[in-house]
Structure 1
Amino acid sequence: MKEHRIERAEVFVVGPDVERYTWAEGMSGQYMANIILRLTAASGLQGIAGGAMITPHSFDRAVGETLRHVLPDVIGRHPGEREILWKQMRNLGTPMVPQAHSLIDIALWDMAARHANLPLYQLLGGARDKILSYASTPLLADNQAYIDYVGERHEEGFKAVKFHCWCQPERDLPMCAAVRKHFEGRDLALMLDVEQRYDLHSATRAARTLSDLGFRWFEAPLVDTDIEGYREIRRQSTVPVIAAGNTWTDLQMLLQGARAGAWSALRVDATICGGITPIRKVMGLAEALGMDVEIQCWGYTLTQAANLHVMLAFDNCTYFEQPVPYPAFEYGSHDVIRTDKQGYVHAPNGQGLGIAIDWKAIEAASILHFEIR
């Protein structure tokens, strides 16, 4: 197996000139760097992974610079050594930017699936080959803009829409009521994400309102670590409540939160929680607890693909998060993931992640590029 030992790693921090969006009142247009890792074995076998780093003012190079210091330990290793590499990186002296750890693990899984001539979701278990999606909106101007936007997405085939909004209860809740009233009787699920910006009083009041409106879930009303607050929201309402999924990502932390009754479902992202290796364990943990895992997918196509493959490998996730409008999230990918007329996204074609990259476009927009041998 020596021919498959990794001999080169390339890192691209990509800052494309695309539309920038906001997710709450007072935010400026956010810069979303696309950090891409490409591993190459002596045999020519490759593995890729991508993750997003979202910051105000300018593109962030932190994940790329972190990879510079940890990738030398990957050189000479075999893609079959995923578990031991994951544990070694997890126990470094100083906690590192989590996306760096995640990208290495995902790229190793991509290599393994390509070597097996399988799409990644089939290597992971292959529970299904499609899943319903929800349109995940940016912040819009007013109630009518949301009504119009939801109508457009529904016409395209979406059966679910999640609102990013002002994160101000006095504006958010009337908007939710207006959209629900306009689309009453339609086959359309609605969700609300308030980016961890409510206080407990506002969150409990909002949850009761969303319960009455029949919302599919209420996302990130409080900071992820406020377990007691989440328990109280659930005690006072019936709408399903989930966290943002960016802070409590470790298996033991998630177990504590689930046992405490903080959330209706778990929430993680393979590109943030450490990769495919740990998210598989999260899926199993949730199944043992009788819970779903509503995986987030906000980012460019490679981020979406890694999470989609996990969703398709297991059956305890109900929706794929489809960031819209499409173009800003598809830069640098020949293959893209889009929702069909029936409201589903399908498994990408091809081996591994199944995403062909436009490397010329990636190189043209790279603000940091280096190679480790």
Structure 2
Amino acid sequence: MTSMLSKIKSIEIRACRGGDELEEFDTVAAVKLPGGSRPDFTVVTITTEDGVQGTSFGFGAQDAKAAAAAMSQVKPFFIGRSAHDSAKNMKDFEIYDRRWNHVPIYAYAPFDNACWDIVGKMAHLPVYKVLGAAREKVPLYVSSMFLDGPEDYARQALEVKAKGYKGYKLHPPGGLDLDIACYRAVRAAVGDDFTLMADPVIMASYEEALKAGRELERLGYKWLEEPLLDVNLNGLKKLREKLDIPICGTEVIAGNQYSVAHCIKEGIVDIVRTDVSWRAGITAVMKTAHLAEAHGVQCELHTTIYHGLEQVQLHPSLAISNCEFFETLYPFDDFLFGTKTQLNIVDGYVMAPVGEGLCIEYDWDFIDKHTVAVL
């Protein structure tokens, strides 16, 4: 009989190139994020003493080898620990990381997610049921990459609306006048009854963010996301006080629930963000969501980029009451790889998965072909 206290025996970290060409590439050009290519990714697999395995995709940044190297600092921490001790592991890691590790914000998450995969498998339940299900489906909105101009966004938004998805979020190309032209074109294309959001991923200044926010209010957009750096707390607070459109943020600020608590208390943003990739995994997502719920604040889960990770994120999404939507990047083709299972989308909703653990079947042939390092 498998022991519920089985300890972690081994961990494998894979660095994987997204593209079919496995050599190095131009990371300076890649940060423009135009879409049209598969991003790098990592894969973490944890094995217990009893042979139970848990696996999770992880963030690959612009170079999976560098991302995997950062994750290798986390690997020794988990050896010998129990996959069932998620709260203890997260708390103990605070000290481990502070003592001169200082890993990137994405490094811890795949280990935590893989542990939850083990927990679900050993309970013979999907993870969202272990967490405590709140629902069986989540409304889906999709987000653009950085396109060229108004016509491109309008065309894509119409395509998204026709598919029955519940909303569309623009990542505009940059520059206040061009961004506003894109916002206007999309609203004109889809009409007033379709949900739209805006995420400029940092504007040039507070003044430009204020002008964009005023126009988005006029156009009836649902929220303005990350108009300024998440750590620009004073600027965000001032912007929130001046605008009626909700300000959404905290997706990349360090500190997880601690920093989010401060942002809620001080009125920095209206809607908080978290996810199972950049925000320390399922355990931290649940902590952050419950914290926000206790303060009457929405906690919208930020896309994890890869559909292999979106399938992980679906579990806390189904166990959270104060999250309205599920987000994926669009079009799907660039991010739909590495798994045989896929998100089950019906009438614009992402449906609950069926199975045990994270309910993901990995495409190991694809992963093997794209692995450039194993740590």
TM-score by length of 2: 0.91
1:86 corresponds to which of 83, 90, 96: 90
Residue 132 of structure 1 pairs with residue 155 of structure 2: no
Amino acid at match of 2:46: L
Cα offset for 1:291?
0.4
Q: Deviations over 1:140-179 (max 9, x none)?
A: 2221121111111111111200011112111011211121
Residue 109 of structure 1 pairs with residue 109 of structure 2: no
Q: 2:9 maps to what in 1?
A: 7
Amino acid at match of 1:205: K
Amino acid at match of 1:291: V
Gaps of 5+ in 1: none
Residues 1-373 of structure 1 aligned to structure 2 (within 5 Å): 1=3, 4-17=6-19, 27=32, 32-55=39-62, 59-92=63-96, 93-94=99-100, 95-186=102-193, 188-243=194-249, 245-337=251-343, 339-340=345-346, 342-370=347-375
Say which is worse superposed, 218-227 or 234-243, in terms of deviation.
234-243
Contact 1:249–1:268 (8 Å) recurs in 2: no
Say which is worse superposed, 217-226 or 138-147, in terms of deviation.
138-147
Contact 1:80–1:112 (8 Å) recurs in 2: yes
Partner of 1:294, secondary structure, is strand
How many pairs align? 363
Amino acid at match of 2:14: F
Contact 1:208–1:236 (8 Å) recurs in 2: no
CA distance change for structure 1 residues 185 and 250 in 2, over 3 Å: closer, same or farther? closer
Partner Cα separation in structure 1 for residue 30 and residue 74 of structure 2: 37
Partner of 1:54, secondary structure, is coil
| Greater relative CO, 1 or 2 (CA 8 Å, sep 6+) | 1
Contact 2:32–2:146 (8 Å) recurs in 1: no
CA distance change for structure 1 residues 268 and 132 in 2, over 3 Å: closer, same or farther? same
Gaps of 5+ in 2: none
Partner Cα separation in structure 2 for residue 194 and residue 273 of structure 1: 20
Partner Cα separation in structure 1 for residue 41 and residue 243 of structure 2: 38
Partner Cα separation in structure 2 for residue 308 and residue 84 of structure 1: 23
Contact 1:196–1:244 (8 Å) recurs in 2: no
Contact 1:3–1:41 (8 Å) recurs in 2: no
Partner Cα separation in structure 1 for residue 352 and residue 253 of structure 2: 28
CA distance change for structure 1 residues 326 and 25 in 2, over 3 Å: closer, same or farther? closer
Contact 1:227–1:260 (8 Å) recurs in 2: no
Amino acid at match of 2:234: E
Cα offset for 1:229?
1.2
Cα offset for 1:75?
2.4
Cα offset for 1:67?
3.0
